[in-house]
Amino acid sequence: MKILIATAYDYPHAGGLSTHVTTLKAGLEARGHKVDVLSFSDIPPAVRKLSAQGPSFVLNKLKKGKGIVYSHKQRQKMLTNLMKKRAHENYDLVHAQDPFTTLAALDAGLPTVSTVHGYMAFESISKGSMDEGSAEAKFMQEMEIKSYRETLEVITVDQRLLDYVKDVSGVEGTAIRNFIDIHGFRPEKERKAELRKQNGLSVEDPIMFVPRRLTRKNGVIYPALSLPAVLEKHPNVKLIYAGSGEARTEIERIVSEKGLQNSVTLLGAVAHEKVKEYYALCDIVLVPSVHSAGVEEATSISALEAMGSGSPLIACAVGGLKEIVEPERDGLLVEEKNVEELSDAMNFLLENPEKGAELAKNARAKIEAEYSHVAAAEKYEQIYLKALAKKG
């Protein structure tokens, strides 16, 4: 098949959706399909700024969320035009990665399958980008529902999202949990000392790594809040964040108030290839997701990557994380927002490295068996065929 994977957001960028697209493309190509990617980044920069980003900024100043709605509408129109211009490519279908891309592909008259990665309206509320119950939030959810009802097939990345789609739209979809490139993310602990030296880090200090966008639902403030209790027992521990987002300011405040400047590093957005190095050089990976404005973590790609990379994982028992981590066997789960429980888990793994090694070994075996990108691509292929059969 010839497939166009499309998104109204930037590609590539630092984040789970971009990683998902790259990994799915690799899996589909491994199965012999021709795959192209179309995104907002394919629009000329001046057009993006003048037609979507600039006006969006101004409108958001007038009313919270107004600019976001405007920007999404503009992105939809731009993608529709790009898809029409690519009509000569004769794609068998478009695989849309968000509701407005689904609507763009339908406007272009193309067979469309859609993956649901999250709760678009609720996530905007969670980030503080629009107000709950506002006209803007209602419009965003209306667009979600419209896209679910009009696409040929809906795929979600976990069971909770599948239930959500059914609840709001009546549409029966298919859940295919997230996945990783098991060849790209693999244990490389033999390179630990080498990679630490390359990145200017101590070979001896214990390192905990948070590979997360700095946004509220990712619970990124909690490792910093938990760190003082860890430093009491392990004063040389270092906490490293890789990601950007609106929660950075709050983390910086916590670091300042608790005097953690010598123990916490905020790298900002990091290229995906670079993140692999930090999985290899760290001792523990933290995925401390929380409930926020009705939003829960899906099948976290960061958690899967950690489990595939030979690092023991501590995650919060929310959403899809509960589906992928078997506590005490292939990772540790702690109660969300529980600072004491998180610090206890961090101390436990620091003091019991043999248990961490056992968790990491079992996690890698699970990833190989259940979360391979090639196996996932085969599942997607079956959905594509089902959608094309509907089209007739």
- Angle, helices 221-233 vs 248-257, to 10°: value is 30
Assess whether 365 and 376 both reside in one domain: no
For the stretch 263-276, pLDDT in tens is 999 999 998 889 99
Of 306, 313, 312, 302, whose CA–CA distance to 279 is shortest?
Answer: 306
How many C-beta neighbours within 10 Å does residue 216 have? 20
pLDDT at 391 over 90: no
Give the Cα separation of 139 and 120 in Å (integer). Answer: 11
Instruction: Find the distance separating the first CA and the last CA of the chain, reported in whole Å.
Output: 16
Which residues span the domain enclosing 136? 2-179+372-391
Give the Cα separation of 346 and 200 in Å (integer). Answer: 23
**Residue 184: inside a domain:** no
Assess whether 200 and 234 both reside in one domain: yes
User: Please, are residues 293 and 269 in contact by the beta-carbon 8 Å criterion?
Assistant: no
Q: What is the pLDDT of residue 305?
A: 94
pLDDT tier at 295, thresholds 50, 70, 90: low
Assess whether 230 and 130 both reside in one domain: no
Give the CATH number of the domain where residue 113 resides. 3.40.50.2000
With 0.85 as the threshold, say if the pTM is over it.
no
Assess whether 94 and 213 both reside in one domain: no
Q: What is the pLDDT of residue 294?
A: 65
Secondary structure element (H or E) that encloses residue 149, with its range: helix 135-150
Task: Give how many domains the chain has, as a whole number.
Answer: 2
**Residue 376: inside a domain:** yes
Strands across the sheet containing 313-316 = 264-266, 238-241, 207-210, 284-287, 313-316, 332-334
Assess whether 226 and 340 both reside in one domain: yes
- Find the radius of gyration of the CA atoms of the chain: 21
Assess whether 116 and 74 both reside in one domain: yes
Give the Cα separation of 391 and 340 in Å (integer). Answer: 54
For the stretch 170-202, pLDDT in tens is 999 999 988 999 888 899 999 999 999 999 999
